[in-house]
Amino acid sequence: MAFGYSFVNLSEAEKSQRRELLDLYAATAQWSILIVFAVFQLSFLLSWMLEPRAEERPKSPFGRPPKLKGPGWIAKAQHLPRSFSWWAAAPVAEGWGTRAEWIAGLVWTAWLLFLSFYQTGNDYLHLTKRFGIVGASQLPLHYLLAIRSRYSPPQLLTRLSHEQIKTAHQILGRIITFMFILHASFYLNFFVMSGFLQKRIKDLDVIFGVVSIIMFMAMNTTALSIVRKWSYKVFYTMHIVFASLLIIPLYFHVHHIRKYVLEVCVIIVLNQVLRAYSLRTYSGTISMIPGTNLVQVRVPLISPNKETKWRPGQHVYLSRPTGAPTSFGVYEMFVLRNQTNPFTIASLAEQDKHLLLVARTLNGNTKQLAKLARSLHSQDGVEVPSIPIALEGPYGSTSRLPDLTKFDRVLLVAGGVGATFIVPIYRSLVEHEGHSFRNSQPRFVWAVRKFAETQWAFPASRGEEDAEFGSEGVQTDNEVEVCVTQPSGSDLQGENADDGMELAEAEHLIPFEEEMEKPRKGMVLRAGRPDVHAIVDEVFTTSAGSVAVITCGPRGMTKQLRESVGRWVRQGREVYWHNETFGW
């Protein structure tokens, strides 16, 4: 056999020793993740020790940040990890993940392969079994990384958000599939070489193993970005259904991995409990933003003191509403909880006294939301009726953002509906009393296709009706730079167009075009795409200190922004970078 392995006949004592080694290295593979968590804790300790003490500054909604400056050798020591982090966060290729993801994935794969080969001697079946049990030992961690709740153990131990940890979940899923494919391929070769294939392929343990491999490969295939973009519903449904059913064939495959399967069952129950804790039913309205293909969901907060546990830029998972005026039952809640999409909270809950969700109409749930919005509007031409709305959350990485008021300059860049993430952060900075900036107010640049798409952030003056809406929208003397990329023509055309757009909505485009020459308070309008390079250079040249860059928008825009910021990072500038994206 290849690589010095062969089919060997073992005594009962040798088989018992092989089983002990299989269990030992599977346990080592499972618990070695504690070393990774320990490294995180050590890095937190070192950061705390290197952090220079400074006087207290006014608090902001984002909590306490790491200090960026230090004396002499400390500043140099801090620059090296920042430079490496910037390099590692760069994508390997379009759609192929970052360098850090590849490095982490290859290191963990190499570790698991080492545990699979070590002390297997020349026993081919020992190696084959080791592939399977080492891969199975990663299943509990794989499911644990999928928990969204802020009470997730990996989030608590690493201080990373679910959006950051889900990348590890995706990578580990591919590694487990790779280990299982090795396990199945080596066993198939053994059956063929030994002449047992026709007999063994009919045995239940083999059948359950084959079914498990097929389900794993199906989940990995539907999790590819191209499939998620084509149909988020297909990806999400396949993932939820197969992840729940997979434990059945795995449990009956072989009894040696059942303890890992049972651990997975406990984690699944924990996840459902945490999700149920985060799931609440509200009464809200759904409507279309006139002149656009944007749909907005507005949820008034009846008891703001109890319900305003929201941070700027967080998101919720919206269950697709039915429009029924009655409350959801247990069964309906269970079904709707698995028909969800992430929506960023575009409002400041405490200040606005409501949650505002805005999304562009695409295929899937957002298209159904748009249809529901039009049907509800057609029932009553004046007032949109309230319907039950189920929201799960809040989630999001903004709870881990540093205190932006401590930076010398802050640059916020949004593209399209990516402003639903940026606008609340911007408002929390410029409208919150007691905030003080080192240098100047943050610079906010927002690129939109049509001026009408800014309505939710810059509501038109309603005169006496303003009292009904309180301080909704951007209310500040500091101006947001709005770049309109399509100053003429309908924004309802193109790949994201909604074929159901009614003529009455399209007619709203005309008055909004006229308002291009009289923008609302708090904004300055420019035609064309923003000059990203010039904007970045202006921010960095007007201050020699630290700079925070927060962005959310189309991939092309964020890529160009990162390239421009990267030139200053390579010159040694202190930069905090955050690019908000949704992967599922």
| CATH at 536 | 3.40.50.80
Tally of residues, the chain: 584
**Could you report the per-residue pLDDT of 190-217, keeping only the tens digit for each?**
999 999 999 999 999 999 999 999 999 8
Residues 207 and 270 in one domain: yes
Is 361:294 a contact under the CB 8 Å cutoff? yes
Residues 440 and 549 in one domain: yes
Share of the chain above pLDDT 90, in %: 41
Q: What strands lie across the sheet with 294-300, from one edge to the other?
A: 340-344, 315-319, 387-395, 279-288, 294-300, 354-360
Domain assignment of residue 126, given as a range: 12-51+92-275
3-state secondary structure 106-121: HHHHHHHHHHHHCCCC
Name the residue type at position 92.
Answer: V
Whole-angstrom distance, CA of residue 270 vs CA of residue 153: 11
What is residue 116's predicted lDDT score, i.e. its pLDDT? 97
Is residue 16 in some structural domain?
Answer: yes
Is 201:191 a contact under the CB 8 Å cutoff? yes
Is residue 499 in some structural domain?
Answer: no
pLDDT band at 382 (very low <50, low <70, confident <90, very high): low
Residue 493 has pLDDT above 90, yes or no: no
Is 163:397 a contact under the CB 8 Å cutoff? yes
In the numeric block, which tokens belong to residue 459? Answer: 């509501």
Is 227:187 a contact under the CB 8 Å cutoff? no
Residues 131 and 182 in one domain: yes
In the numeric block, which tokens belong to residue 450? Answer: 């049509």
R_g of the chain computed on alpha carbons: 27
Residues 262 and 166 in one domain: yes
* Residue finishing a domain among 377, 396, 415: 396
336 half-sphere exposure, CB direction, 13 A CA radius: 24
Residues 250 and 195 in one domain: yes
Evaluated on CA atoms 199, 202, 203, 208, the torsion sign reads: positive
Residues 174 and 287 in one domain: no
Mean pLDDT of 391-404: 80
| Report field, pTM of the whole predicted structure over 0.85 | no
Count Cβ atoms within 10 A of the Cβ of residue 32 and give its class: 0-12 exposed, 13-18 middle, 19 or more buried.
middle
Residue that has been written with the tokens 């049907």 in this structure: 375
Residues 221 and 173 in one domain: yes
pLDDT band at 10 (very low <50, low <70, confident <90, very high): very high
Mean pLDDT of 557-584: 86
Is residue 189 in some structural domain?
Answer: yes
Whole-angstrom distance, CA of residue 577 vs CA of residue 202: 55
Residues 388 and 408 in one domain: no
Of 35-49, 136-150, 520-534, the range with the highest mean pLDDT is: 136-150
Is residue 506 in some structural domain?
Answer: no
Residues 162 and 174 in one domain: yes
Whole-angstrom distance, CA of residue 54 vs CA of residue 33: 35
* Residue finishing a domain among 379, 396, 413: 396
Is residue 84 in some structural domain?
Answer: no
* Residue finishing a domain among 380, 396, 412: 396
Residues 174 and 131 in one domain: yes
pLDDT band at 127 (very low <50, low <70, confident <90, very high): very high
Residue 407 has pLDDT above 70, yes or no: yes
**Distance, C-alpha 6 to centroid of its chain:** 46
**Could you report the per-residue pLDDT of 22-68, keeping only the tens digit for each?**
999 999 999 999 999 999 999 888 877 866 554 444 445 554 444 44
Is residue 79 in some structural domain?
Answer: no
Whole-angstrom distance, CA of residue 425 vs CA of residue 404: 9
Residues 176 and 196 in one domain: yes
Name the residue type at position 377.
Answer: H
Phi, psi of 165 (to 5 degrees): -75, -25
Q: Show Cβ contacts of residue 188 under 8 Å, excluding neighbours closer than 6 positions.
A: 197
Residues 44 and 21 in one domain: yes
Kindly give the pairing relationship between strand 279-288 and strand 387-395: antiparallel
Is residue 69 in some structural domain?
Answer: no
